[in-house]
Amino acid sequence: MGDFNHGHIQWTSLQSTGREDQEFLNLVQDSFLSQHVLEATRGENVLDIVLSSQKEFVDNVKICEPLGCSDHNQIHFIIKVKGERNRKIRYRKNFHKGRYKDMREYLAKIDWNNTLKNKTTTECWNILKSEIDCVVDKFIPLEKTGETVKEETLIEGSH
């Protein structure tokens, strides 16, 4: 995007009369670029251009009145960018798919009388909590809660 001052290029027919203009036009074509501004931006010339490597990247090009004291018209356009927005992949316990029968069997095998014998209330609680955490980790599966999402972003530009 910018003011390239190649006023002898006819962008609709891809022809030019000036040597430097023709060299620039050849460079644009050799680079497989598309020009999106096809209306005059200064007087009767297209001096301000918007180039892209694919036509569908730029949309809704509008030529507007000059801003302030400028002798160039404004160019408004939308750039469409496809990309990926990454969300962190997180996991959570899926209690609906828990193996509760296996949990009960696991906990039933613990000799709670000997495990908790001569322990304070706090120590008993910590042992119980630790065993429950262990059994949940072992018998409750994880599920993903976030993933990578592709999206199209629209960026409005002007010159």
Q: What integer pLDDT is reported at residue 149 of this predicted model?
A: 52
CA–CA dist 11, 135 (Å, integer): 71
Q: Each residue of 26-38: pLDDT tens digit?
A: 898 999 988 888 8
Closest Cα partner for 8 from 51, 45, 63, 42?
A: 45
Q: Above 60 in pLDDT, residue 157?
A: no
Q: Above 80 in pLDDT, residue 148?
A: no
Cβ-Cβ contacts under 8 Å for 32 (sequence gap 6 or more): 53
Q: Are strands 74-85 and 58-64 parallel, antiparallel or unpaired?
A: antiparallel
Tell which phi-psi region holds residue 39, choosing left (phi > 0), alpha (psi between -120 and 50) or beta: beta
Q: For residue 123, what are its two tokens?
A: 């120590």
Helix segments in the chain, DSSP class H? 19-30, 100-108, 112-116, 121-139
Q: What integer pLDDT is reported at residue 59 of this predicted model?
A: 84
In DSSP terms, 3 is beta-bridged to: 48
Q: What integer pLDDT is reported at residue 79 of this predicted model?
A: 85
Mean of all residue pLDDT scores within the chain: 83
